Structures are given as C-alpha cells and as structure tokens.
Amino acid sequence: MKRLFIVLISCLFLTPAALRSQEVRNVASEVKDGMIRVHYTLSGKFYQTFAVSLYVSRDGGNTFAGPLKEVTGDVGPDIRKGSHTITWDVIKEMPMVEETLVFDVRAEITGEKPKSSFFIQYVANATTYIGLRAGMLGIIGFYGEVRGNLKALNSAPYTYKDGSVDYNKSGYFVFTEKNGYSAWSALAGITYQPAKNFFLFLGGGYGKEDYLLGMDEYTYDGDVKTGTTFAKYDGYCTSGVEVDLGLMLRFKWFLLSAGGTALNFKSFNFTAGVGAAF
C-alpha cells in the first residue's frame, strides 16, 4: 500500500475586492479510508458567498496543479464563511508514489451583497392585539406597522374626570363592566442585519390609548334603555410619540420577532410577532 506524506500550506488567494474581508486559514488534513480530507476555515462577511477550489503541489509548493476534480464536500460555488472539509479521491485522480503533498485552498468572492426580502408579520401586544408589520429585510431595510384593538372602533363622547362625567343628555346613565382600552398605533422604521438570520428594528410614530368606561343610557320616564356609550377616563389616557424596537429571527421563510413599545414614555408594552419572509 502506498504511503502519503502530507504537508499543508494555508495559502491565501484573494481578489482585490476581498483583500480585507476574507481569508483561508487553519488548513489541516488527514488520510481516511483511502481519501484525503482537507479541513479549512473560511472567514468573511456573513452575507458573502465564495467559489472554493483545491490545488495540490508535488514539488514542495513550487508549482500547483488544479483545480482538483475528484473532490466532494465544501468545494465549488456558494460556500459561506465557517469551518469546512474537502474530500479528495487522490488515487482516482493522481496515481502517486511515496511523496510529499502541499495543498492550496483558494477562495474567490462570488456574491458580495445579501439578498433583500419582503416580509410580513402579525404583531400584537397586550393593548393593541391586532397588528400588521411589513417591509423589506436586508443589511439596511425598512418597515411600516399598524396595531389596534376592537375598542378603537368605539367613540367616547364623554369624559370621566374628578369623579364625574360631563354627561349632557336628558336622562341618566349607569356604568357597565364593558371597560377597557381603546388603542391604536401607526409607525415606520428601519431594520438592520448584523448577522445571518438575525435582524434589529427601530421605529417611531404616533400612538393613542384611552381607557373607556362603558355606560348604558336610560330615560327618567319609565327607565327605558336608549343606548350604550362610553366615557374616557381622563387619568388613564395617553397619546403622542411611540417608539418601537426589538429583534427578528429568521428560520428559512419563518420569521419571529420580539420587542417593546413606549408610548409617550408613559405606557410600555412587550410586543411579539410571527410571519414570513420571501
């Protein structure tokens, strides 16, 4: 059986544009099951793709033959940064006698920009539990967001303040248990991608939260119910600038988000979202 003496060289092969962004390092090898396995680490931007090829020298690194053809594993186009392995069927491609081999792993940038993708999410928090967020994801992206709840459809012509309601109709009213926040928000913001499948977002806009007290209206004559209305609880109403921030995690097309909102820096909420990116 022929013996293989293997010497490795961590040889850097860069295009001018890649000079400061990627390198091949930590090259090592092993002989296993009659094959040579060349391990290497490729560094670069998370969004870059590379074409990787393997060369071999039989004269101590003076000249190299390749790219080698009988290779499998992490070789060829669309290789990203990380730890990789190339398996070479040496006997099939290059009949040898006992000799020293020097390997040269070469990488060339083939994709420099990440792909932008459209996304859409259902978003909600405890107050505004119906919402939609949509936009574009990329290194720098953008989004728009609207949230609200069903009570936002109710009008509140009266105000409860200092223990009384400014009720101005003939008749009287009775408070009910149909109380709760009428709330909505409209925002826009930017997204930033610091790592693969990980995004940060920050936005701002306008929000409004009014705590409504439910009221049934009656006539004095016969105590006949004439309708239902609402009064805003003055001490529990907030409106103004709303800030929205958080993170998104992408699993293929599936997109999760978590974050928080601050309305006028008085009302704070945790926000979660689920959706898809295309």
We report the CATH number of the domain holding residue 147 as: 2.40.160.20
Same domain, 81 and 124: no
Q: What does pTM read for this prediction? A: 0.68
Buried b (16+ CB within 10 A) or exposed e, 106-122: bbebeeeebeebebebe
- How do 100-111 and 5-8 pair as beta strands? parallel
* pLDDT value at residue 92: 86
User: Where among 111, 136, 152 does a domain terminate?
Assistant: 111
Q: In the beta sheet, which residues pair with residue 158?
A: 231
Beta strands in the chain (DSSP E): 5-8, 23-32, 35-43, 49-57, 71-73, 76-79, 82-88, 100-111, 117-124, 130-137, 140-148, 158-161, 164-165, 172-175, 180-195, 198-218, 225-251, 254-263, 267-277
Report the domain count for the chain: 2
User: Where among 93, 111, 129 does a domain terminate?
Assistant: 111
**Which of 136, 227, 132 minimizes the C-alpha distance to 178?**
227
* pLDDT value at residue 60: 78
d(CA 106, CA 33): 25
Same domain, 145 and 207: yes
Same domain, 128 and 231: yes
* pLDDT value at residue 96: 65
Report the SS3 class of residue 29: strand
* 202 within 8 A of 245, measured Cβ to Cβ: yes
Same domain, 34 and 94: yes
Same domain, 208 and 169: yes
* pLDDT value at residue 143: 98
Report the SS3 class of residue 16: helix
* pLDDT value at residue 15: 35
- Residue 183 CB coordination number (10 Å): 26
* 50 within 8 A of 14, measured Cβ to Cβ: no
Same domain, 14 and 107: yes
Same domain, 175 and 221: yes
* pLDDT value at residue 21: 41
Residues near 16 by Cβ (< 8 Å), separated by ≥ 6? none
Burial status of residue 35 (CB atoms within 10 A of its CB: 0-12, 13-18, 19 or more): middle
* pLDDT value at residue 255: 97
Same domain, 71 and 122: no
Same domain, 17 and 88: yes
Q: In the beta sheet, which residues pair with residue 5?
A: 100
Burial status of residue 263 (CB atoms within 10 A of its CB: 0-12, 13-18, 19 or more): buried
* 48 within 8 A of 22, measured Cβ to Cβ: yes
Phi-psi region of 151 (alpha: psi -120 to 50; beta: other; left: phi over 0): alpha
* pLDDT value at residue 173: 95
Same domain, 101 and 140: no
Same domain, 172 and 44: no
- Residue range of the domain that includes 259: 117-277
- Residue 125 CB coordination number (10 Å): 20
Mean pLDDT by 10 residues, the chain (278 residues): 46 37 77 88 87 88 88 91 91 74 88 86 96 95 97 92 92 94 97 93 97 95 93 93 97 96 94 96
User: Where among 62, 80, 111 does a domain terminate?
Assistant: 111
- Residue 223 CB coordination number (10 Å): 10
Same domain, 266 and 134: yes
d(CA 104, CA 135): 44
d(CA 265, CA 189): 18
* pLDDT value at residue 253: 95
